[in-house]
Amino acid sequence: MRIFEVMRETRETNIYLKINIDGTGKYKIDTGIPFFDHLLASFAKHGCFDLIIKARGDLEVDDHHTVEDVGICLGLALNQLEKKNIFRFGWAIIPMDDARATVAIDLGGRSYCVGDYKPEREVVGNLSTENINHFFESVASYGMLNIHYEVKGKNEHHKVEALFKAFGVALDLATKIDERKGITSTKGEVKL
């Protein structure tokens, strides 16, 4: 089983994250931001990852540090993944009513994030929508992976939820084991 744990404690946050890449979509998530919990649950369920997150942040200030640091922790966990004998690339196009999200991922050891999500309102539930892009930037940066995404639609809740579902499905594909693959690079190594 590919199970990874990360703990991060700063003056702003205290986070515990555990992910089982080979899970069944079970989750227990408490970030103090209920809509963010919902998005992370959608990611876990549709990616078939078992995910535990317990986060405490300075929500009296705002939700930025908590969202950012959960992204950092998820990235750090994903960076522990053995890069041998996996698909490496994953992609998904997920509709949700009026919304459609597309995500493409490369677990090739290079950090880059290209996102096309332009929120049309400032908050969904109690989550600042400006932090959605920053979450994915944090995952990519600390996970040493490429994430490309775009979202279309009218309803902000649907747009963001479709994005997190697509992220889960794409990551599930990229992490699939295939013994034929070996190191999936013509260089003979994938940067860790």
Q: How confident is the model at residue 189 (pLDDT cuts 50, 70, 90)?
A: low
CATH number of the domain where residue 73 is located: 3.30.230.40
Is residue 38 in some structural domain?
yes
Residue with tokens 């996102």: 115
Q: How confident is the model at residue 179 (pLDDT cuts 50, 70, 90)?
A: confident
Q: Determine the structural domain holding residue 80 and report its residue range.
A: 3-175
Is residue 185 in some structural domain?
no
* Domains held by the chain: number: 1
Helix axes 130-143, 156-174, angle to 10 degrees: 10
Q: What mean pLDDT comes out for the span 145-158? A: 97
Is residue 74 in some structural domain?
yes
Is residue 149 in some structural domain?
yes
Is residue 60 in some structural domain?
yes
Is residue 181 in some structural domain?
no
The number of residues making up the chain comes to 192
Q: What is the pLDDT of residues 6-39, one digit of tens each?
A: 999 999 999 999 999 999 999 999 999 999 999 9
AA letter at 145: L
Average pLDDT of the residues of the chain: 95
* The predicted structure's pLDDT at residue 3: 98
Is residue 101 in some structural domain?
yes
Is residue 188 in some structural domain?
no
Q: What mean pLDDT comes out for the span 119-124? A: 95
CA-CA distances (angstroms) from residue 140 to 62, 100, 152, 163, 180?
Answer: 23, 21, 21, 15, 26
Q: Specify the pTM.
A: 0.95
Q: What are phi and psi of 128, to 5 degrees?
A: -70, 120
